[in-house]
Amino acid sequence: MKIIIIVAVAENNVIGKDGKIPWHSSAELKHFKNTTMGNPIIMGRKTFESIGKVLPGRLNIVLSHTPGKLRKSDGMVAVHNLDEALNICREQNAEKVFIIGGASVYKEALAFADEIILTRMNLKPEGDTFFPEIDSGQWSLKEKEEKEEFTIEVYERRKK
Which positions touch ligand NAP (CB under 6 A)? 7-8, 15-16, 19-21, 43-47, 50, 63-66, 80-82, 100-105, 108, 129
Smaller CB distance to ligand NAP: residue 72 or 159?
A: 72
| Cβ-based nearer residue to ligand NAP, 20 or 158 | 20
Q: How far is the CB of 17 from ligand NAP (least distance, A)?
A: 6
We find the least distance from the C-beta atom of residue 85 to ligand NAP, in angstroms, to be 9
Whole-number Å distance between alpha carbons of 59 and 46? 17
| Residues near 159 by beta carbon (within 8 Å), at least 6 away in sequence | none
Residues whose CB falls within 8 Å of the CB of residue 17, separated by 6 or more in sequence, listed in order: 125, 126, 127, 128, 129
Q: DSSP per residue over 95-152, as a string? A: SEEEE---HHHHHHHTTT-SEEEEEEES-----SEEPPPP-TTTEEEEEEEE-SSEEE
| Nearest distance in Å: CB 60, ligand NAP | 13
Choose between 64 and 122: whose C-beta lies nearer to ligand NAP: 64
Closest-CA residue to 78 (of 65, 92, 62):
62
The least CB distance from residue 87 to ligand NAP, in Å, is: 13
In this complex, which beta carbon is closest to ligand NAP, that of residue 16 or of residue 40? Answer: 16
